[in-house]
Amino acid sequence: MENIVDTHAHLDGEEFVSDIDEVIERAKSQGIGKIFIPAINAKSLDSVPALCRRYPGYLYPMMGLQPEEVDDDYLDVLAKMHAELVSDSSYIAVGEVGLDFYWTREHERQQLDAFERQMEWSMETRLPLMIHCRKAQNELLSMMKPYKDELPGGVFHCFTGNQKEAERYLEYDNFVLGIGGVLTFKSSHLREDLPACVPLDRIVLETDCPYMAPVPHRGQRNESSFVVEVLKQLAESYGVGVDDVAHQTNLNVKRVFGV
- The topology under which CATH files domain 4-257 is TIM Barrel (3.20.20)
What's the helix, strand, coil split of the chain in %, to 5? 50, 15, 35
Task: Compute the average pLDDT of residues 183-200.
Answer: 97
pLDDT of residue 48: 98
Rounded distance between C-alpha atoms, residue 144 and residue 126, angstroms: 15
One-letter amino acid identity for 38?
A: P
What is the total residue count of the chain? 259
The b-or-e profile of 225-236 (16+ CB within 10 A means b, else e) is bbbbbbbebbbe
Q: Domain-by-domain residue ranges, the chain?
A: 4-257
Q: Tens of pLDDT along 152-165?
A: 999 999 999 999 99
pLDDT of residue 181: 98
Q: Tens of pLDDT along 106-149?
A: 999 999 999 999 999 999 999 999 999 999 999 999 999 999 99
Rounded distance between C-alpha atoms, residue 103 and residue 134, angstroms: 9
Q: Tens of pLDDT along 62-87?
A: 999 999 999 999 999 999 999 999 99
Q: Tens of pLDDT along 25-54?
A: 999 999 999 999 999 999 999 999 999 999
According to DSSP, residue 195 is labeled H
The b-or-e profile of 182-196 (16+ CB within 10 A means b, else e) is bbbbeebebbebbee
pLDDT of residue 15: 97
CB atoms within 10 A of CB 90: 11
pLDDT of residue 65: 98
Q: Tens of pLDDT along 206-234?
A: 999 999 999 999 999 999 999 999 999 99
Binding-site residues from annotation for a divalent metal cation: 8, 10, 96, 132, 157, 208
Residue 49: its H or E element: helix 44-54
pLDDT of residue 182: 98
Give the side-chain half-sphere CA count within 13 A for 226.
27
CB atoms within 10 A of CB 169: 22
> Residues of the chain with pLDDT > 90: what percent?
98
pLDDT at 104 over 90: no
Helix (H), strand (E) counts: the chain: 9, 8
Binding-site residues from annotation: 8, 10, 96, 132, 157, 208
Rounded distance between C-alpha atoms, residue 61 and residue 146, angstroms: 28
